[in-house]
Chains A and B, each alone.
Chain A
């Protein structure tokens, strides 16, 4: 089992909808998690990190961490076509990356 798991998608949502991206992890000792966005052919760029249980909001993005259930999620409100990309979850004591979820926002 990979330390950090993501559904590869693609996840398709209409423009203006909420996109929900999920990630599970196996190491209960994991403290902090990152969400990166990667456009095709480009390098990953950080969207946000979270290291406390609960929600963290930044503009249209909300990260949620539930340590008891060992999952991390990223909500994107008012999705735009420009949000179409692969989203990588990363965390764990060795900073393991998930394989990424491809998001497609349909105009």
Chain B
């Protein structure tokens, strides 16, 4: 099993360009997440999908859109990139929403995409 895969690994964009970050998981997980990580800021949730067919905003959704294409795939789109979106982007998945029921569910992270917007 590959776990969580992300493409591309690195990307450089010019201000105003658009792109889509791809994420796929092969663990049959219901929930998927997109985070960004900036120096000294920890991980911040951009969007999440609790289950196939649903998406919800996280802490920092502005400037991004997402699509839960099917149970395996969850993509993140930047319509008009800005230098403030320079960051490392991580996709994650979990069996269920992280506190469904009476137990927490571990998130598994992809390798990340390092994005630079000039």
Chain A interface residues toward B at CB < 8 A: 6, 8, 31-32, 34, 42-46, 49, 51, 88, 90, 93-100
Contact = CB atoms under 8 A, between A and B. Distances in A.
A30 to B, nearest CB: 9
A61 to B, nearest CB: 15
A93 B104 contact: no
| A contacts with B: majority SS | loop
10 contacts: A32-B99, A34-B106, A44-B43, A44-B90, A44-B109, A51-B103, A88-B43, A94-B58, A95-B99, A99-B42
A43 B111 contact: yes
B90 A31 contact: no
A33 to B, nearest CB: 8
Interface residues of B, number: 21
A43 B106 contact: no
A99 B39 CA distance: 9
Contact of A95 (B98, B103, B111): B98
Given A31-B99, A45-B109, A49-B106, A95 B45 contact: yes
A34 B104 contact: yes
Nearest to A50: B104
A88 B42 contact: yes
A98 B41 CA distance: 8
